[in-house]
Amino acid sequence: MNDYVAEMQQRSTGPSMSSSDIAIAIDHLTVSYGTSQVLNNLSLEVPTGSIFGFLGANGAGKTTTIKILLGFRRPTSGSARVLGYDVVSHHQEICQRVGYVSETNSLYDFLNIPQLCRLSRDLYRQWKQERVDHYIRLFALPLQKPIKQFSKGMKAQLALCLALGNDPDLLILDEPTTELDPVARQMFLSTLVKDVAAEGKTIFFSSHILSEVEAIADRVAVLHQGRIVLSEELDTLRDRQKMLCLIYEEQPPAEEITVLGRLPGVRALEREGRAVRLRVEGNTDTLIETIQARPYTLRDLQVVAVRLDELLLEYMKGENA
């Protein structure tokens, strides 16, 4: 009953007290283009202060989700709130408080940086030019060139500089580093962590680059064909699965392999001669005891970490759904 009351309060317009620790709340969101459903009953919460990696293959619906959050598109059904504001009724307010860096960076490309800054200053209530200048110097962007002469990477950097100009509480980035070379990407990401997240701001970024999500995010959600198939703390994922590497004295018979594959907690099995690799979820100790009690002698047994990028890739392919 109380949950219902809280939910009704959430639905009233304007920011509510209870939403202050949730930067983004998506509730049963469905979006259709014509007859094709792009987002299917999607629910997601992004806690305030988190660095949230939003993963999915191309066409999974990442950009559509972001467009909904910024009020560029209307939900077919369901709702979403950003910083406590409803995305449909309060999209103006959201635009003032959220920084947005898009995949395509549709900047006014006939302007140069000082001209673009003057324009932005008029558009935002709390424009901080010193801050923008600081980042423009950091990325060493040229001041006099018109933006159409910028490389794609420079445009992404400029978009970040401008997005930070109105001191946003939430930064939404749509595949921001796709066009950056490794050096620029590293600088871009460390700016996000050191200057934005460290100040308690929330970062929500879509990506298909697993290594960068692994490096900076504390939470991750995976979108697969318009549905959320995973939403979890990365530290929880790091601990969830382990790889058991078994080396037998002699090659175990096929029946034994079948038995191993059916043991509780075993999610996947690979074998190669005398070596068997088990992907294991949950407590490994009991499983190891069980395996050691089997009649086939082990020469070696090791527990190794499962690579996070491999695990995330499986979710992106929909294999763990």
From 55, 95, 147, 217, residue interacting with other proteins (rule: CB under 8 A): 217
Instruction: Please say which residue, 175 or 212, places its beta carbon nearer to other proteins.
Output: 212
Q: Which of 9, 89, 129, 190 binds other proteins (CB under 8 A)?
A: 190
236 binds other proteins (CB under 8 A): yes
Among 93, 133, 214, 281, binds other proteins (CB under 8 A): 214
Q: Which of 34, 182, 200, 295 binds other proteins (CB under 8 A)?
A: 200
Among 238, 271, 274, 277, binds other proteins (CB under 8 A): 238
Select from 94-102, 108-116, 193-201, 262-270 the region that touches other proteins (CB under 8 A). 193-201
Q: Is residue 218 near other proteins by the rule CB under 8 A?
A: yes
Interface of this chain with other proteins, residues 240 to 259, rule: CB under 8 A = 242
215 binds other proteins (CB under 8 A): yes
209 binds other proteins, rule: CB under 8 A:
no
* End-to-end Cα distance, the chain: 31
Give the separation between CA 166 and CA 307, rounded to whole angstroms: 38
Task: Identify whether the C-beta of residue 279 lies closer than 8 Å to the C-beta of residue 241.
Answer: yes
Closest CB 200 distance from other proteins, rounded Å: 7
User: CA-based angle 48:52:54, to the nearest 5?
Assistant: 140
Distance set, CA 29 to CA 33, 39, 46, 98, 214 (Å): 14, 7, 15, 20, 27
Residue of the chain from 21, 232, 235, 250 that contacts other proteins (CB under 8 A): 235
**How many Å apart are CA 159 and CA 86, to the nearest integer?**
25
According to DSSP, the β-strands at 241-248 and 275-281 are antiparallel
For residue 264, give Cα distances in angstroms to 178, 286, 287, 319: 40, 10, 8, 19
**By CB under 8 A, residue 267 contacts other proteins:** no
Closest CA to 96 of 79, 83, 80, 107: 83
Q: Which residues bind other proteins (CB under 8 A)?
A: 47, 49-51, 189-190, 193-194, 197-200, 214-219, 234-236, 238-239, 242, 304-308
